Amino acid sequence: MRKAQRTAVMAILLGGVLALGSVTVGAQKSAQRWTTAETVMPDALVKELKNPDRTARPVVVCAGFQVLYRGAHVPGAAFAGPPSRPQGLAALKAWAAPLPRTTNLVVYCGCCPMTKCPNIRPAFAALHAMGFTRLRVLVLPRSFAKDWVYRHLPIARGTM
């Protein structure tokens, strides 16, 4: 990606984070504890997404805010959310409803630090309650921008 493109993506991401800063106010105070099997690190996800066997690749869903998804997202990721809002939670459930419950599914938000994120816990809880047995959370301790984009991992931009 050229420097001008990276700068544009960063401006969009940072602008979106600044514009959405107040959204995290109601975030859950207790940190979610996921098992190692319920998480995937960014580098590992990139490797999985490059698997020559397309059927072995995970299905990825961004459960964050639309403005951030448009700015930059994991290549191939769907958008459904944000589940911190009733209509976003309904959108996530509707998106996931037709998927087999054995789908290798990765969910992420990345709007802010995971411990303060208003979206990742409701997304994981809803998908888990729907019976998904291979559900994982993408570990983004600081944000999608800092833990993915700034590390020059692959991104896609644009609408759903």
Position 15 scores a pLDDT of 44
Position 71 scores a pLDDT of 96
pTM: 0.80
Position 144 scores a pLDDT of 97
Question: What are the per-10-residue average pLDDT scores of the chain (160 residues)?
Answer: 48 41 35 86 98 95 96 97 95 98 97 94 97 98 97 91
**Domain coordinates in residue numbering, the chain:** 3-149
Pick the CATH number of 3-149 from 3.40.250.10, 2.40.30.170, 3.90.1150.10, 3.40.50.720: 3.40.250.10
Position 21 scores a pLDDT of 34
Neighbours of 19 (CB within 10 A): 12
